[in-house]
Structure 1
Amino acid sequence: MLLLLLLPSALLLVPWAGAGRIIGGWEAQPHSRPYMAHLLIRNASHKFECGGFLIRPDAVLSAAHCVTGKKAVNTTVILGAHNLKKKEPSWQVFHVGHWVIHPNYSKDKKENDIMLLKLKPRAKLTKEVSYISLPRHNEQVKPNTTCKVAGWGWTSTTGDETSVLMEVDLKVLSEKVCENRFQKKYLHQSMICAGDEEGKKSTSRGDSGGPLVCNGKAHGVVSYGPKYCVFPKIFTRVSYFEPWIHEELRKFVLQDLPDSPSSD
């Protein structure tokens, strides 16, 4: 593990490199995570997949890098899914026309990697579809706390795939681990560092935007990691962005009032 920490900081860190699918995990109990959202982002020539999570009937939280630079022309959100290849009555499908990226998001610096997607119509809350609570502003999660991450897709670094929702346990790491590994790219105020020190469990390509769930709350958003390593991973710290989230959700409500301008 020391070797991993001493790898040159010049290694390219890109959001899509190992930032999204579950490695070393297990199949989640169907619909045990009713807040999970699957995002399918299409443009003229490609499609991209991400995770996300329902935080209110009209809003899904995800990672900004999922849409930035993709020239997306069509974004679909699926709620209530377990096996993406088996459509169930529990599915709720939304064609999203409006999303808000944090105004200070930086693709190069990997900062402020967070966005909100507006659902219209609002999701219907059911046993298979419900929202997850968010932490209070600047609420902290302590190092060594065991958290869970879930997502669809690759189950290995070589691209093995799964169509069912997978989950894995990851521990919140001390600030020092990620400061050593990522140096100035790691901002402890707005990021959480988590992973498996044995290097056997991780998120990987495609889960980006999914939640890091600690003590029943979505404390993190899957953001990025080192290109050729599964340890450690960086998550956007949700509690730091709580004021921004609250303000954008207020705007969502105002857009739905009679005679209010809508950006959908």
Structure 2
Amino acid sequence: MASLSIRNETGKYRCGGFLFRLDAVLSAAHCVAGKGKVNITVTLGAHNISKKELSQQKFHVGHWVIHPNYSRDTFENDIMLLELKPRAKKTKEVSRIRLPSHDENVEPGTLCRVAGWGETSLMGNKSSVLREVSLKVQNEELCKKSFKRSYLLQSKICAGDKDGKKSTYCGDSGGPLVCNGKAHGIVSYGHENRTFPKVFTRVSYFEPWIRGELRKFVPQDLPDSPSSD
């Protein structure tokens, strides 16, 4: 799990993200798109983000790329890739999560987990401590009906808690939807004052784009290559 601290001229805000290679983090494009000039700091290995914990690793990110076809109107292609320099160190608190392959799907009814430091109520209460909820993958038609034009079947995942008790919210954007041990989704959007349903960027759909962008990374001279462990 990664915490992104993003600063621009108007202030500072947070998003989530996740480490899938020792030099690469995925998050949501809307975390930085349209925000002007931003500075991004990535923190790995955190539990309480308001404290300086010994487990934390911090990185000032110099290179990131948002999907060239990201749309601020429909949240289409809501994905961003960040390069870490130097590489993260693998520890008990910091490890990589696997990504699904391009043709890998997650079925409706699958119970997934999502975590973040986002707000814990509609009143705006914030959490310094990492929290996690379980959300079920829903039938695509549910989100298509709820979000109309903005919901594209092939590139998004519909999920949520039907009872409306648990959900992602402001500040959780960019975090992973973990299903069957892989990061299948990225927290993207939902209705402002409703906890259900929520839309996630479908990671498998963007696997070719991710692979293409990773090839542009400058090789880092370190003994542990991304595929060595």
The TM tier, using the shorter chain, reads: over 0.9
Counterpart of 1:126 in structure 2 is 91
Counterpart of 1:144 in structure 2 is 109
Q: State the distance in 2 between where 1:43 and 1:257 align.
A: 29
Counterpart of 1:203 in structure 2 is 168
Q: State the distance in 2 between where 1:139 and 1:107 align.
A: 27
Q: State the distance in 2 between where 1:182 and 1:161 align.
A: 27
Q: State the distance in 1 between where 2:151 and 2:118 align.
A: 26
Counterpart of 1:15 in structure 2 is none
Q: State the distance in 1 between where 2:163 and 2:37 align.
A: 37
Counterpart of 1:178 in structure 2 is 143
Matched, 1:106 2:71: yes
How far residue 70 of structure 1 moved from its aligned partner, in angstroms, is 1.2
Q: Which runs of 5+ in 2 are unaligned?
A: 222-229
Instruction: Answer 1 or 2: higher relative contact order, Cα 8 Å, separation at least 6.
Output: 1
Q: List structure 1 runs of 4+ shifted beyond 3 angstroms.
A: none
Q: State the distance in 1 between where 2:183 and 2:84 align.
A: 19
Q: State the distance in 2 between where 1:157 and 1:105 align.
A: 27
Counterpart of 2:34 in structure 1 is 69
**Mapping of residues 234-249 of structure 1, within 5 Å:** 234-249=199-214
- Once the two structures are superposed, residues 120-178 of structure 1 have per-residue CA deviations (whole angstroms, 9 ceiling, x without a partner) of 11111111111100001031100010000000031111111221000000000001111
Q: State the distance in 1 between where 2:6 and 2:66 align.
A: 15
Tell me if the contact between 2:32 and 2:38 (Cα under 8 Å) persists in the aligned partners: no
Residues matched between the structures, number: 221
Q: State the distance in 1 between where 2:99 and 2:13 align.
A: 26
Tell me if the contact between 1:109 and 1:185 (Cα under 8 Å) persists in the aligned partners: yes
- Higher fraction of strand: 2
Matched, 1:91 2:40: no
Counterpart of 1:12 in structure 2 is none
Q: Which amino acid aligns with 1:177?
A: L
Matched, 1:41 2:23: no
How far residue 89 of structure 1 moved from its aligned partner, in angstroms, is 1.4
Q: State the distance in 2 between where 1:151 and 1:65 align.
A: 16
Please point out which of 204, 209, 219 is paired with 1:256: 219
Q: State the distance in 2 between where 1:83 and 1:43 align.
A: 23
The alignment's C-alpha RMSD in Å is: 1.1
How far residue 250 of structure 1 moved from its aligned partner, in angstroms, is 1.4
- Once the two structures are superposed, residues 90-132 of structure 1 have per-residue CA deviations (whole angstroms, 9 ceiling, x without a partner) of 1110000110111111111210000100101111111111110
Q: State the distance in 2 between where 1:60 and 1:196 align.
A: 27
Q: Which runs of 5+ in 1 are unaligned?
A: 1-35, 259-264
Q: Which amino acid aligns with 1:60?
A: V
Kindly, what percent of the aligned residue pairs are identical? 68
Matched, 1:192 2:139: no
Q: TM-score, structure 2 length as denominator?
A: 0.94
Q: State the distance in 1 between where 2:5 and 2:13 align.
A: 6
Tell me if the contact between 1:41 and 1:72 (Cα under 8 Å) persists in the aligned partners: no
Counterpart of 2:82 in structure 1 is 117
